[in-house]
Amino acid sequence: MKQRLGNFTIVVLVVMTVLVWVVFPPVNNGSENFMRAYAGEVLGSILIVLMSSSLFLSTRPKWAEPFFGGLDKMYLTHRRTSTSAFLLMFVHLLTVPISTTNLRLGNYLAMISFLGIVSIVLPTLAPRIPFLSKLTNSTYEGWKKLHRFIGIFFITGFIHSLTIKGLDAFIAINWVQIFFIIGTASYLYTEVFGRVFKKYLSYAVEAVNHSNGSTTEVVLRAKKDPIPKQHAGQFLFVRFPQDKTLNESHPFTISSAPREDVLRVTIKACGDYTRHLFSHLQAGMDAIVEGAYGMFDYKTGGQKQIWVAGGIGVTPFLSFIRDIDGNLAHDVDFYYTVRHRDEAIFLDELEAAAKQNPRLKVYIRFSSTDGSLTVDEIVKNAGGNISGHYIYMCGPLPMVQAFEKKFLEAQVSAGNVHYEEFNFR
């Protein structure tokens, strides 16, 4: 329940915004367009509440993670509130009566805000349209840079609402102003003040190990800052300022155990940044770390557990296993699936951990030769009934979603199925 409180609060704020407009309606000015203007203002207000929620979530507030179920889930909410606000913007525009003969400053500001937001959001929704993809170079970093401007258009949109001759609704307008302040403060924190207040930790790359032809293990040692407070399975953001390409902050799971005096991340080369890192990162380079974030934690689950890792999704489980101190307190069936044998990493370590911990059973699956792992097989190995089991998964999203569906069909309760999203966009 606690993990849904964040989303629930946003829904309540939207409902309250409508209620404030209904309970404290605007003074009817007798204009023939009064009802359209009224509806338009209610829609505009919801839009501001949703946008300010999005901007607030972009600040990555660590303290709010428990109310959403982790930063990855907060990004999902951010995506949903942004998309809803974006769609609502069109409805707002179509609803409010606009006089084409008597355009004022407020109307021009509305246009600037509308066009600005459309050109920032459309490349996200339709990344393959050639004209739009030019704005972002079709890269995540290009998309992120473009996104930085969204707050400017949010502020422009709000100034539009102040300069336009709106309806006289003192209480409702003051209520909405609270969200404008939250949104603007969040934006300024993310883009300006966060650099001063946020805890960016100074590290050095101690070692760079290539686990196979596409995976790099990076060992990071703190220069002077202490190791960030963390639990096994969390992730951090890291960048390497001495290399132009690697000076982008990317999220990676901490694959070491929290008690180690270094941080280790294990990175699969799959795009521009991670490929460049594979071939260019060197020991001795500086690293800037931010974190730790995330709520993926098997210790919050019950005694019987099933862990499923696909490909590089093994990293949080490496941390879980490395964190075992003495005897594992849960009965775990751990499935690690990769396409080919040479893609698998740390196999010896995983097998050694299984030998040391009778409660940990490790099943390695090479799908190209052994066939794909199925939930039926997992259920069979677990004795035929997994309704009381807790599930932890990390891997490619289609795989995780397909498995989730099958686990639910196998009577696992939805609240017992946990997975880490490796995708923030």
Ligand X SMILES: Cc1cc2nc3c(=O)[nH]c(=O)nc-3n(C[C@H](O)[C@H](O)[C@H](O)COP(=O)(O)OP(=O)(O)OC[C@H]3O[C@@H](n4cnc5c(N)ncnc54)[C@H](O)[C@@H]3O)c2cc1C
Residues that bind ligand X (CB under 6 A): 72, 139-140, 235, 248-253, 265-268, 270-274, 312, 315, 422-425
Nearest distance from residue 314's CB to ligand X, in Å?
9
- The answer to whether 276 and 246 are in contact (CB under 8 A) is yes
Task: Choose between 267 and 379: whose C-beta lies nearer to ligand X.
Answer: 267
Nearest distance from residue 407's CB to ligand X, in Å?
21
DSSP string, 366-407: EHHHH----HHHHHHHTTS--TT-EEEEES-HHHHHHHHHHH
Nearest distance from residue 95's CB to ligand X, in Å?
34
DSSP string, 294-355: ----GGGS-SEEEEEEEGGGGHHHHHHHHH--SS-SSEEEEEEEESSGGG--SHHHHHHHHH
Task: Choose between 24 and 67: whose C-beta lies nearer to ligand X.
Answer: 67
Task: Choose between 115 and 129: whose C-beta lies nearer to ligand X.
Answer: 129
Side-chain half-sphere CA neighbours of 42 within 13 A:
19
DSSP string, 153-210: HHHHHHHHHHHS-----HHHHHHHHHHHHHHHHHHHIIIIIHHHHS-PEEEEEEEEEE
Task: Choose between 349 and 409: whose C-beta lies nearer to ligand X.
Answer: 349
Nearest distance from residue 423's CB to ligand X, in Å?
4
Which residue has the CB atom at the shortest distance from ligand X?
271
**Residue carrying structure tokens 């329940």:** 1
Nearest distance from residue 192's CB to ligand X, in Å?
20
DSSP string, 50-61: HHHHHHHHTT--
Nearest distance from residue 139's CB to ligand X, in Å?
5
Nearest distance from residue 154's CB to ligand X, in Å?
22
Task: Choose between 333 and 420: whose C-beta lies nearer to ligand X.
Answer: 420
CB atoms within 10 A of CB 205: 19
Task: Choose between 31 and 282: whose C-beta lies nearer to ligand X.
Answer: 282
CA–CA distance, 66 with 5 (Å, rounded to integer): 9
Task: Choose between 220 and 412: whose C-beta lies nearer to ligand X.
Answer: 220
